[in-house]
Amino acid sequence: MIRDRSYRPMHQAPRRSLLLVIALGLLALIIMVADQAGMLGPLRAQADTLLSPALSALKRTADRVGSPGGPLGDDQALQAELAALREENSALKARLIQAEALAFENARLREQVRIEQAHPWRLLGADVAAITPDAGRRLALLAVGAEQGVRPGMAVIAREGSSPPALIGVVAEAGPRSASVLLITDYSSTLSAQVYRNAGVARGVVQGQWQHGSRLLLDSIDRDSAIAVGDTVVTAGLTAQFAGDLPLAAIPPDVPIGTIEALHNTGRGQSADVRPFVDPDRVRYAWVILDGNE
């Protein structure tokens, strides 16, 4: 008998098939309603306990197989991500340093504005690049020079803590982009100074005393001047007043220098030990008074 491959499927009793389908359908519906009502909870829990291990194991296998390249692909992806994160970290660190520098500069500029608003000065901010390490001469090197308008004889001020902006030195030499500052504590630094007291003013000369083991000495004070310990010493600006073409003429009057610590009677006059408001040796940032005119 030749097999007829194109024969039709076995003719099943249609009623029997129909009854079976209806019965199974009803059974499925009953199971569904029972599960919705929560009656099959224990059965599901049991089934879950039996099937969970197999499901978890198969899921893990599928995850491992599913990703292209498998573990190798994961390692490469992780390494790439690590490299990218390192680069980002490095860039962020650089930006942080930049931000910190900008914040510091911002603070300095704000300080400069405050000083300029309180005084009739035009300032130029500068980093103190170096301070002479030996005691031979007290000099500081500023990172600004003639190109920025610095000239010999200009006053250099700074602030420390809660002190007022006070004189720390005078520009001795000005190169194109740097300037050396003779600190007021140097013995060769001599400046006219004055002390306001009782509606009067006592004038003298402030000279550095570092090489003599001290700081500042206010000398040549009239013996009748009623100055006292604690009085503020400021610049007198006499060079500007009497000899306007000398370098020191650039020092404006009334720039704070320090306070009187002790008084001495020298017979013909008085002298006073002056404590500077700002220790020149600790200054890291200063301002050059470019123009002290009101």
Question: In the complex, which residues of this chain contact another protein (CB under 8 A)?
Answer: 1, 3-12, 16-17, 20-21, 24-25, 27-32, 34-36, 40, 44, 47-48, 51, 54-55, 58-59, 61-62, 66
Distance, in Å, from the CA atom of 106 to the CA atom of 122, rounded to the nearest integer, reads 18
Distance, in Å, from the CA atom of 179 to the CA atom of 251, rounded to the nearest integer, reads 16
Instruction: Give the CA-trace dihedral at 237, 241, 245, 246, to 10 degrees.
Output: -40
Q: Estimate the crossing angle of helix 70-118 against helix 41-66, to 10 degrees.
A: 80
**Which residue(s) pair with 127 in the sheet?**
285
Query: Based on CB atoms, which residue is closest to another protein, 17 or 198?
Result: 17
Query: Based on CB atoms, which residue is closest to another protein, 51 or 91?
Result: 51
